[in-house]
């Protein structure tokens, strides 16, 4: 169980870093990137 939690956190963290960099390049606030990642990769989408 600890492995799955760790993997989920690492996926969210990695996606957040990539999205924040992309949003900064588009001159958008990084908070929007974190919200988008939470919506797209969050627990409700994965089931």
Buried/exposed code over 38-47 (b: 16+ C-beta within 10 A; e: otherwise): beebeeeeee
Whose structure tokens read 């900064």?
A: 24
Task: State which residues form the domain around 42.
Answer: 8-46
| 39 lies in some domain | yes
pLDDT of residue 7: 87
State the pLDDT at residue 46.
57
Is residue 3 in some structural domain?
A: no
Q: Is residue 24 part of a domain?
A: yes
User: Does a structural domain hold residue 37?
Assistant: yes
Please state the domain count of the chain: 1
The residue count for the chain: 47
* Per-residue model confidence as pLDDT tens digits over 1-47: 677 888 888 988 999 999 999 999 999 999 999 999 988 887 766 55
2 in a domain, yes or no?
Answer: no
Please state, in angstroms and rounded to a whole number, the distance separating the CA atoms of residues 28 and 20.
9
22 within 8 A of 36, measured Cβ to Cβ: no
**Residue 1 belongs to some domain of the structure:** no
pTM of the shown model: 0.78
């Amino acid at each position: 169980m600890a492995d799955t939690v760790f993997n989920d956190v690492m996926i969210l963290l990695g996606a957040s870093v990539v999205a924040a960099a992309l949003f900064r390049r588009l001159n958008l606030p990084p908070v929007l990137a974190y919200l988008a990642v939470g919506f797209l990769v969050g627990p409700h989408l994965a089931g």
